Structure 1
Amino acid sequence: MAELPSASREGNALRTADLLGAFSLASDLALGMHTEHGARSCYIGMHIAQEMELPLDQRTDLFYAELLKDAGCTTYTSQLASSWLVDELVAKRDLQFFRNARNPLDIASWLMKYVAAGASLPTRANHILDFLVKGRAFMKEGFENTCLVASRIAQRLGMPQSVQDALMQVFEQWDGHGMPYGNKKGAIPVISRIVLVTSFLEVFHRVEGRDAAMHVAQARRNKAFDPSVVDAFLSVARKESFWRGLEEERVWDSVLSMEPEQSPYQYMGEEKLTDVTLALADYADLKSPFLAGRSRRIADLADRIARRMGLNESQVTTIYQAALVHDIGIVAVPSFVLNKFPETLTEAEREQVRLHPYHSERILSKVPALVAIIPLVAAHHERMDGSGYYRGVQGSQIPVGARIIALADRFDELTHDSPGSPAREIDQAVEVMRQEVGARFSTDVFQALTDELSGVDRSHRQRTRQQEWPAGLTDREVEVLRLIAKGLNRRQVANALFIAEGTVRSHLEHVYSKIGVSSRATATLFAVEHGLLA
C-alpha cells in the first residue's frame, strides 16, 4: 500500500515511539553498546529510506523495526556467557562487528582474546575446541532465538505483521552468508536489509568517524550489504546536514520527528501501559534462567501487599507497574556476572550490579507516562538504615511503593533458586526477613506480607499441580518446560525427572508443537507469559 490511515491522539493516549525508545535504550545497554545506538541507527535508516524513495508503509515499518531490532537480545546472553566464560557483551560486540567470520586467523585471534580468558589451560582448550566444532550452529541458534523473541515482543506491542517479519531477518546478509536462515538478496525484506546496514554504520561511525562508516559501507557492498542501500547511504553521506544531525548530542529528538505522521501505530491507549511494562519485564527476565518469570511474581506479590496495606487503586496500579519494570536496568549487567556466585564477584562487577537501578531510571525516563513509577524503581534497593543503593537514602525518604517492591523482591529471591543459593521454604524465608526488619525493611510492610501469607491457605502456597494447563500441556510436559526454562539441558532434565533423555526429547517436541514455538527461548517466554514459573 502507498498510503496509511492517519493516527489521531485520543485522551491520554501514549506515544508509541516513546515506549519503543525505552526498549531501544534498554537494548543498547543490554548489548553493551553506546547509548542511542538504536536511535542513531534509526536516524540513518530513515534518511536512507527517503533517499531510496520507499513508500510510506515501508518507511513506517522501518521506523519501528529500527527501534525494536534488538528487542530479543537478552534471550541468548546467558548461553553465550556459559560457553565463553567471559563478559559476553564485550566478546559478542567484537565478534559481530569487528571480526571477519570468513577469516580463520581473525576468528582464532578472537578466540584467544576472549574465550575462557583467565581460566585454566585445560578449561580454555575445552571451550575453544567446543566453539571451533559447534560455534556456527551455536551462533545460528542464538540469532534465531533473538529474532523470534524480538518478533514476539513486536507482536505484543501491537506492531504490524510486516514489522514482525522484518525483525526475523535483521541478521541476514545480501550474499546469503547471514543468519539464521541464510536468505539472500530479494528474499530478505528491504526493511531488514536496511536495518543490518545501519547497525554497522552507526557502530563504525561512533568508534572511528565518518570515513570509517563510508569505508565499511563500500567494503561490504554487494557482499553482506544490499548495494542499493549502500548507494543510498553514500548519496546521503555527501550532505553535511546529515552528519550534523547524526552527531547531535540528543539525536533522539530528531528521531522522534522522523516518525511518519500518517502512521496508524503512532499512539496507543493508556490502558496498554501495563501491557508495555509486562513486555519490558519479560525482556529483562530473559537475561538469566534464574530470572525467568521473576518480575511478574514480584509484581503480583507487591500488588497483594499494597492492597493489604489499604492503599488506593491508583497507588496499587502504580506499584504493580513499577514492580514489573523494577529490574529493567539489570539488562546492562552481563549475564556472566549475573550467573556468578555473589561471593565470587569482583569489586567492579559488584558496582555493575549496584548501578542497575540507575540504568532502570534512565530507560524509563524515555516514557513520560511512566514518570510516577520512576522514584519507586530507582529506590527499590534502598534500605531503611541508609545502607542500600544507589543513592543511599533512608527511612521516610524511601517511597512506600519502593519499600513494598524491596520486600517482595527479597521474598522472591529467598523462595527461588539463585546462583549459589537454593530456594528456601516460605516459612524459612519469612524468618530470614524478620531478622532484617528495621535495618532493611519497614515494619508495616513486613507485617502486611506476613498477614497476606497467613491469609492464604497453605495448600495454595505450595507449588502444586494444576488440573488444566494452557495449550493442553500435561503435568509432565509442564515439568519439562519449567526445567528447560531454568537453563537445564536435556540430559540434566532427564536426571532431574528420572527419565530417559530420549523421553525428554519427545516431551519437548510435544511441548513445542502444542504451544507453537520452535526454540527454547520462545518456549521460556511462553512459560513466563502463562505464569508457569511461579
Structure 2
Amino acid sequence: MNAPATTARDTMAQNEQQKGSSNNNARRHNEGHGRRLTAAFEALEAFPALAESRNRLIRLVTQERVSSGDVVAAVESDVALVISVLRLGNQVEGKSRGRVESVVQSVELLSPEAVHALATRARTFDFFERSSVWEAAPERFRLHGVATQRAAERIAQETGYEHRDRLMVTALLHDIGKLVLMHAYPGYPGQVHQGARTPEERIHRERRELGVDHALVGGVLARRWGLPKSVASIIERHHSEDATGEAAFVRLADMLAHYAQGGSVSPQELLKCARVIGLGPAELRTVMYDLPYPVTGRTRQVDPCPLSSREVEVLKRLAEGKVYKQIALELNLSTSTVRTHLHNIYGKLGAVDRAQAVLIATERGWL
C-alpha cells in the first residue's frame, strides 16, 4: 500500500518544526556565547599587574615628597594599574563621578594613601613565575599596549592633539577585549585568526567566527567597569573603518605599533587613517621613522603649577640664559621686580638657585 502523499500542510508543518529547531539551536548557541563572555568578564576582575610596575608605584607613593607626574607615569605603564586607578577615581563622590577619563584626573582625586592601598592589593604577574591562569598573556598584552601608547604619543606630538592624557589611557586599553576572548575561547587567537596577517584581516575573522570582535567586547567591558562612555566608545570603535576623532588616533597607533614590532600592516589603510586625523604621507613617514627611538618633546604638565603666569614668563627667560636687565626689558618690568619674582619662584619650588629652579620646572612640565 502506497504511503499517503505529503500535503502542503504537512510540508509547512515540517518547515516550521525545522525552523523552530534552528531557532532553538541559535538561541542555545547565543546563550552559550553569553555565558562564556560573562564568565570572562568576571575573570578579568583578577587580571594581574606586572610585579615590577606594582613595586615601582609603591615606592613612589611612599616617598617623603610624592610627585604626581611620576605616579601618573608609573600607573600609565601598566594595564591592570590603569584599570584599577580609573575605576577607583570614577567612584569618588562629586561632580567628576563617572567622568574621570585619565590617570591624571584620578591621581588628582585620590590620596597617595589610596593609591598605595590599591597597589598593595593588586594581583601581580612575573614573567619568571608563570601563572597557570594567564601564562604569558599579561606581558605580551602590556608590550603591545605600551607600543601603541608610544605610537599614539608620537602622533599626538605631530598633530598637536589636545586630549593627550585620555589618549594615553585609550591607547593602552584599546585591546582589553582580546583578554575577554582569550579567556572565553581557548582557541583564541590562533584558531580564530587562522593565519590572518593584518589587523583588518584579524578583526574580520573574529566577526565571522565568533559573531563579535574584540573592539566591541572591549567597549562592553569598559562600561561594566564604570569607565566614562567617552573612553568605552573609543575602545569600541578603534577598528571601525570609518573611525574618526580619538578612535582614529588609536587605530593608527595600533597599526603603527604592529609595524614597529615587525608585524604586517596595510599601507593603504595606514595612509587612509592618517589622513582622517590630518597627517599626510610626509608626516606619516616622519612618525614611522621616529618610532624606534624614545619619544622626545615637552614634558606633560601633571602637577599643579604653583607659579603665577608672570613668574612662569620670568623663569622661561631665565632658562634661555637671559640676565635680569634683559628679562625686565622684555616684560616691561623693573630689575627689582624681576628679582622679587625670582625670589618668590625659588621659594615656591624649593630651589636654591636658578639652575635648580629651571630643572624642577622643566621636569614637572611647567616650562
TM beyond 0.5: no
The alignment's TM-score, normalised by the length of structure 1, stands at 0.29
The alignment's TM-score, normalised by the length of structure 2, stands at 0.39
More RCO (CA 8 Å, sep 6+): 1
